[in-house]
Structure 1
Amino acid sequence: MTSCTVPGCPRTSDEDTRRRMCVRCARQLQAYLRELVGQMPLLQASLQLDRSPTTGSVHGGRAHSPMPVRGDVLTLLGPGSNTTVDDPYGDARGDQTGPLPIDTHLRGWAEMTALHVRLATAPGIRPGRTWAAWLTAYVPWIITAPWAGILHQELTELLGRVRSITRTEPRRRPLDAPCPSCEAFGLVEEDWQPYVECVACELLLTPDEYTAHARRVMPRLYRTALLLAAQQHQESA
């Protein structure tokens, strides 16, 4: 087993020594890419400046015409580079300051992934697709790359900026059925995540696996709860 390369993660990847990322962080990486796709319409909606009282002159008007849209959002939504980005940490950034556009950022990682898996041609995306979707398809190879933990960390920071603009945070909802492994009532589902997770033992279930499990155990639990309620009612009568 090898240690997970995501900064701050204490887990090991698993018995496969080629993996540089544990199962939980790999799942989170997929969720980040999925959320970036879902956040794009919210970023578009956040592009327009909020209305605020006019300031800047004795007449209540502005000293200078304001930028009609938010600059931080415009930067993130900016078009990707038309040139190949071979290294997200090297000269590809040039003299640019501040965050890269999301499209440029993800394309840079797509180029790194292409080099890692030794694709014969540079990566490309079909009309209507996104670089996030392209990277999602290559997650099984990404988690074997030496820079996998750095990608995870950068997407964490990128989503932090996006969420601060759209004012959204993934919601976590507890589920009714107990965990099939440890039997604790710790199963939760979270926005964008592809799995149901047990916060007690870290078991992961697909939504279909949880549904099948709940259908098996919940009728029995409901009957037990009714019997206990009836018994308590009789004892208090």
Structure 2
Amino acid sequence: MPETTRLCAVEDCGGEHEARGVEPGLELCGWHLDRLRRDLEVTPLLVRWLSLHTIPSGGGAEPVSGSREPAAPVRLDVLSMLLPGAVHPPPDDEDQVGPPSIPSTLAAWVWQVCEERGLAGPERWDDVPQLTGWLLPHLEWCAARPWADQLCTEIAALRRCTHALVPWKVHRTEKIGVPCPTCDLQALAQIAGEEYIECDERVGGCGRLMRAEEYSAYVAALARATPESAA
């Protein structure tokens, strides 16, 4: 009998279509592994961005939910992501609210890898660049672990929650006139400060990710083929 292709372990892989296949020994498809790498690489950028938005818009104080305490002069939702704290709410804990902590989420996964591989962790367990830099070289190994889908989901949530708390819409550049090399749709865009260009699924794109150098080479190839092509 022909060997059955194993599918990506991430729950929503493929959307309305069948989940993508994986390479032998892996739990994540290439599409999700690329996103895991991107989402992990940008975590220091997320911290810098959130740090600039700890004061409520307009300088007003933020009420403390469910408390008679005076209003806080800072954004508690932003601080909850910047400071050590909750990693992710347990599914049966309705009282656990608020976005996840970036340093605690990263530290939990670094600890997981340290435990399973018998390694020493970074010098500082509360330093996001150190945690990120430590974890990145282990992603291929992580992609083969039975918890790879949970890792992918939790790291993706850090970027998604940051963008929800402090939207980056005005810092998004659309690559007008340049079609995606995979789906041919003109949906390529780049978030300020990020190295990656993405075919935006929110406007019907395929989700293709390209690093800046790959995109530059692609645009140069388009220009050689069609000199009038947009750069």
Q: TM-score, normalised by structure 1?
A: 0.66
Instruction: Select 2:219's aligned residue among 214, 219, 223.
Output: 214
Larger RCO, structures 1/2 (Cα 8 Å, 6+ apart): 1
Give 2:33's aligned residue: 26
Give 2:120's aligned residue: 122
Give 1:49's aligned residue: 56
- How many angstroms does 1:115 deviate by? 3.1
Residue deviations 1:199-221, cap 9 Å, x none? 87776654434433433441441
Cα 1:150–1:193 shift into 2, 3 Å: farther
Is 2:20 the partner of 1:12? yes
Contact 1:178 1:185 in 2 (8 A): yes
Unaligned runs of 5+ in 1: 56-62, 82-86, 91-95, 225-237
Contact 2:142 2:148 in 1 (8 A): yes
Partners in 1 of 2:227 and 2:148 — Cα distance? 45
Alignment of 1:190-209 (within 5 A): 190-191=190-191, 192=194, 194=196, 205-209=210-214
Cα 1:178–1:132 shift into 2, 3 Å: same
* Partner AA of 2:7 in structure 1: S
Q: Secondary structure at the match of 1:103?
A: helix
Partners in 2 of 1:43 and 1:186 — Cα distance? 30
- How many angstroms does 1:148 deviate by? 1.0
* Partner AA of 1:123 in structure 2: G
Partners in 1 of 2:179 and 2:144 — Cα distance? 33
Give 1:60's aligned residue: none
Partners in 2 of 1:47 and 1:133 — Cα distance? 25
Residue deviations 1:38-77, cap 9 Å, x none? 111221122123434999xxxxxxx964323222222222
Partners in 1 of 2:128 and 2:151 — Cα distance? 24
Contact 1:27 1:194 in 2 (8 A): no
* Partner AA of 1:9 in structure 2: C
Contact 2:61 2:71 in 1 (8 A): no
Cα 1:194–1:159 shift into 2, 3 Å: closer
Unaligned runs of 5+ in 2: none
Cα 1:142–1:67 shift into 2, 3 Å: same
Alignment of 1:57-76 (within 5 A): 65-76=70-81
Contact 2:62 2:73 in 1 (8 A): no
Give 2:6's aligned residue: 2
Q: Secondary structure at the match of 1:129?
A: helix
Is 31-40 or 98-107 further displaced after alignment?
A: 98-107
Give 1:167's aligned residue: 167
Larger radius of gyration, structure 1 or 2? 1
Partners in 2 of 1:174 and 1:8 — Cα distance? 27
Give 1:230's aligned residue: none
The alignment-based identity, stated in percent, is 21
Cα 1:195–1:13 shift into 2, 3 Å: farther
Cα 1:43–1:212 shift into 2, 3 Å: closer
- How many angstroms does 1:107 deviate by? 0.4
- How many angstroms does 1:103 deviate by? 0.8
Task: Please provide the CA RMSD for this pair.
Answer: 4.0
